[in-house]
Amino acid sequence: MARPGAACPPPARRVMVAARALLFWALVYSYCGVCACIAGLRLLWSIGRRPGETFRWVVRENPPACLNDPSLGTHCYVRIKDSGLRFHYVAAGERGKPLMLLLHGFPEFWYSWRHQLREFKSEYRVVALDLRGYGETDAPSHKENYKLDCLIADIKDILESLGYNKCVLIGHDWGGMIAWLVAICYPEMVTKLIVVNFPHPSVFTEYILRHPSQLIKSGYYFFFQMPWFPEFMFTLNDFKVLKSLFTSQATGIGRKGCRLTAEDIEAYLYVFSQPGALTGPINHYRTIFSCLPLQHHEVIMPTLLLWGERDAFMEVEMAEITRIYVKNHFRLTILSEASHWLQQDQPDIVNKLIWTFLKEETKRKRE
């Protein structure tokens, strides 16, 4: 609805806007169909080769020991008043210390920050959250409950429920998207922003429409628009797709990285093999095309962007373009031998870079 007193756009412009919207949604659903066809062919190929293995699904009733490792912190829960949802998180470090809030990507959960929970607890209250719909956090059934404004409000409400009014905010992948948006919408709540392998959202939406190569790499965004089928494809061959994401040569952690152990992989399989555990995470993507592009763009706090150059899902060119949206100190570090799973792939280097950024900003303020 137009604002009172605002001039109505001329007919030619309205037609142009409508045409662009039509082309955009035609692209979305056409590519969704292409991705679905490719997935269907893979399913048929798997059934033809190993029909007995295709639908195998191991029931995992007990979590692996690593998920209850006391060195990682304490498992906690907080219920948000407005939404009524209960969130699960793991916290390390003393209460009262500055808050460092960690937002994971897909398909991950709090455990992807295990190296950072151990590292930063000496000076921070480090909280690794299970996002809405993930792990032990409540998962609303309707996809409309996963719109970006709901996810942004979650972070604001959790911060307040933890007794803080500001934090160092760190996000990876989809958690990086949310971190950017929280920094844009609630700049007073973010003292420093650190994002791992996700560009500014405006860069992403503009770049993907102009670069077919990135459109292909982001094919899962379109595939996830379908109901139930993406979840089903993840379960095949006892969640082979999930394992491959972290271990395959194409998308996994490289030879020089800190590879996931068998127990680490089992932790992921335990969480995502629970009944209905994949629907919430995939619902995050099912409303994305109705939420972007953004109306507000600028980030006004000091920002660190870390990027694994071997990212199979995000082209590195987007990292440098991000600089134009940060109206404060901006530091970009690209690690040439690192994958998309950067904080797990190169934890020692990532932790050192974060420490340097945090100390550097503290020193700059004193001066």
Domain range annotation of the chain: 69-210+287-365
Active site residue 173: yes
Q: Which residues of the chain are under the pLDDT cut of 50?
A: 1-7
Which one of the listed residues 146, 268, 270, 285 is annotated catalytic?
285
Reported as a single tens digit per residue, the pLDDT across 225-262 is 889 999 999 999 999 999 999 999 999 998 888 999 99
pLDDT for res 3: 41
pLDDT for res 75: 98
Which one of the listed residues 264, 284, 340, 345 is annotated catalytic?
340
Query: What span, in angstroms and rounded, lies between the C-alpha atoms of 150 and 364?
Result: 35
Residue 56: count of CB within 10 angstroms of its CB = 13
Q: What is the pTM of this model?
A: 0.90
Which one of the listed residues 130, 138, 154, 173 is annotated catalytic?
173
Cβ contact 195:304 at 8 Å: yes
Pairing of strands 86-92, 99-103: unpaired
DSSP at 326:
B
The amino acid at residue 343 is Q
pLDDT for res 273: 96
What is the per-residue DSSP string for 265-313?
HHHHHHHHTSTTTTHHHHHTTTTHHHH-S-S---B-S-EEEEEETT-SS
Tokens 């082979």 identify what position?
240
pLDDT for res 366: 56
Q: What is the topology classification, in CATH, of domain 69-210+287-365?
A: Rossmann fold (3.40.50)
pLDDT for res 35: 75
Active site residue 285: yes
How far from the centroid of its chain's Cα atoms is residue 145's Cα? 17
Cβ contact 176:105 at 8 Å: yes
Q: Identify the burial level of 237 via C-beta atoms within 10 angstroms of its C-beta, where 0-12 means exposed, 13-18 middle and 19 or more buried.
A: middle
DSSP at 140:
-
Active site residue 154: no
Q: Which phi and psi angles does 220 have, rounded to 5°?
A: -65, -25
